[in-house]
Amino acid sequence: MSADVRDPILVEDRGDVRVVRLRDGENRFDRTSVDRWHDVLGELERIEGPLAVVITGEGKFFSNGLDLDWMQAHPDDAGPMVEDVHRLLGRLYLLPAYTVAALNGHAFAGGAMLACAADVRVMRTDRGYWCLPEVDLGLPLTGPMFAAVTARLPRAAAQDAILTGRRYTAVDAQRLGIVEHTAGEDQVLARAVELAEPMAVKDRSVIAEHKRMLFADTAATCGWRPGTS
């Protein structure tokens, strides 16, 4: 898979692992990035044979969620774009390959939800927070967003995160079960690839069926069903 230098998402091959690298500054969701996300997931779904996926960002941010400035400037497309973010989360939950989120930096709001939609998470220890700040922004979670968070997080962690808007360090996030692994700055991506590699050769049809059993209701709430576009 190739991408233009201006592409907000670059996909890199590392053997049987595809690294999906977000590289658009704060990696916020706007029309361009969301459309590109769906293109990338479509490409990954069409791959036959061994595959696992690692999602990461660059610099300070993993993802800072919805681009509220873009939404304000494009009010007619803001609602449909958010619906496509919902679908993206559901689609990632059901992606027929094992997925690892390598949190290189801040994961806020929609970025935190994106991390939830991966099968496992590695968070950087020395910098970056995981946070659902909607209570401070005055923007309640949508039903699909709530489903995307609560399908993954332990109940107590989800309640604390949603009600308080607290910013969690890697240590706190691991203690509460928000992330499973932590690593230093120079090891986050390597650790994520290390976790992904042995999963790439497992039977993807079985992974897909097990994900369906686990998360079909979540994906449907998010507006995604396999075979749609």
- Using CB atoms within 10 Å of the CB of residue 204, give its burial: 0 to 12 exposed, 13 to 18 middle, 19+ buried: buried
Angle at 121 between CA 117 and CA 127, to 5 degrees: 120
Q: Which two tokens stand for residue 175?
A: 């203690």
What is the rounded CA–CA span in Å between residue 57 and residue 22?
4
What type of residue is 113? M
* Residue 58 bridge partners (DSSP): 61
User: Known catalytic residues?
Assistant: 134
3-state SS class at 33: helix
Name the residue among 169, 159, 100, 156 with its Cα closest to residue 130.
169
* Residue 11 bridge partners (DSSP): 20
What is the rounded CA–CA span in Å between residue 162 and residue 109?
10
CB 32, CB 21: distance < 8 Å: no
Q: Which two tokens stand for residue 15?
A: 């053997």
